[in-house]
Amino acid sequence: MNLIIVESPTKARTLSRFLGGDYVVEATTGHVMDLPKSKLGIVVDNNFKPEYIVVERKKKIIDGIISSSKKADKIYLATDPDREGEAISSHVKNMLPNSKLIKRIVFHEITKDAVEEAIKTPGDINEHLVDAQIGRRVLDRLVGYKLSPLLWKKVRRGLSAGRVQSVTVRLIVEREREIEAFKKEEYWEIYVNVKVQNPNVKSEEFIIKLIKVNGKNT
């Protein structure tokens, strides 16, 4: 028996229909590990190491996947082809006891041909994408965990602050302060229409700009 692990239950059902009885398809329904909600969950003094824990509501799903993996001859991680999917595959692999049987497969369309081609050419987890997801999650937590409570006090409870919103707000605030600090100063730009008066030269009009007065730039 071969085990394929995807994220979406709908995708799992679709794959099960056309792959046949040699394959069992399980779904993680998203992330199975995350940072704890009750604390920061990042060891800042240890290179910002994240303290991932199993998502409480996913424990039964994980137990089911582990049980299926023990019966499998081959295990294929087929989570979404992005950094989130790569991180999910990495977390699932670390949970399974028989990691030597595990391979990563990627497909961009849910068709029998695409999936079978991916199974023929399995690879490994892209650790660069995993690191990218961890970096995004850690940054979100460092910003949001400390800033969100301030929003609850000043704006409305339930609001969250993240790495993008916080920086954007900062840019807006700085720009607004620049506008408030701007001091109006009257200045003039002087242009003159001139015409050539030399009878031997074709008469043409053109515009000149005053740029210096007594050797000083205007």
Residue 27 tokens read as 């779904």
Structural element, H or E, at residue 119: helix 112-120
Residue 182 tokens read as 């701007």
Count, residues in the chain? 218
Name the β-bridge partners of 49. Answer: 43
For residues 184-188, give the mean pLDDT. Answer: 85
Supply the pLDDT for residue 100. Answer: 78
Task: Return d(Cα 151, Cα 129) in angstroms, integer.
Answer: 31
Supply the pLDDT for residue 156. Answer: 77
Q: What is the DSSP string of 31-47?
A: -SEE--SSS--EETTTT
Q: What is the CA radius of gyration of the chain?
A: 31
Supply the pLDDT for residue 163. Answer: 66
Q: Is the pLDDT of residue 10 over 70?
A: yes
Place of tokens 């003094």: 45
Residue 82 tokens read as 């992005």
| Average per-residue pLDDT for the chain | 89
For residues 107-115, give the mean pLDDT. Answer: 93
Supply the pLDDT for residue 162. Answer: 66
Q: Which of 99-103, 114-118, 195-199, 203-207: highest mean pLDDT?
A: 114-118
Place of tokens 């460092």: 142
The closest alpha carbon to 174, from 185, 166, 186, 164, belongs to 166
Type of residue at 167: V
Task: Return d(Cα 36, Cα 28) in angstroms, integer.
Answer: 19
Helix (H, G, I), strand (E, B) or coil at 72: coil
Task: pLDDT band for 185, please (50, 70, 90 cuts).
Answer: confident
Longest dimension (CA), the chain: 103
Q: Is the pLDDT of residue 192 over 80?
A: yes
CA 193 to chain centre: 57
Residue 108 tokens read as 């961009």
| Out of 23-37, 138-152, 165-179, least confident range | 138-152
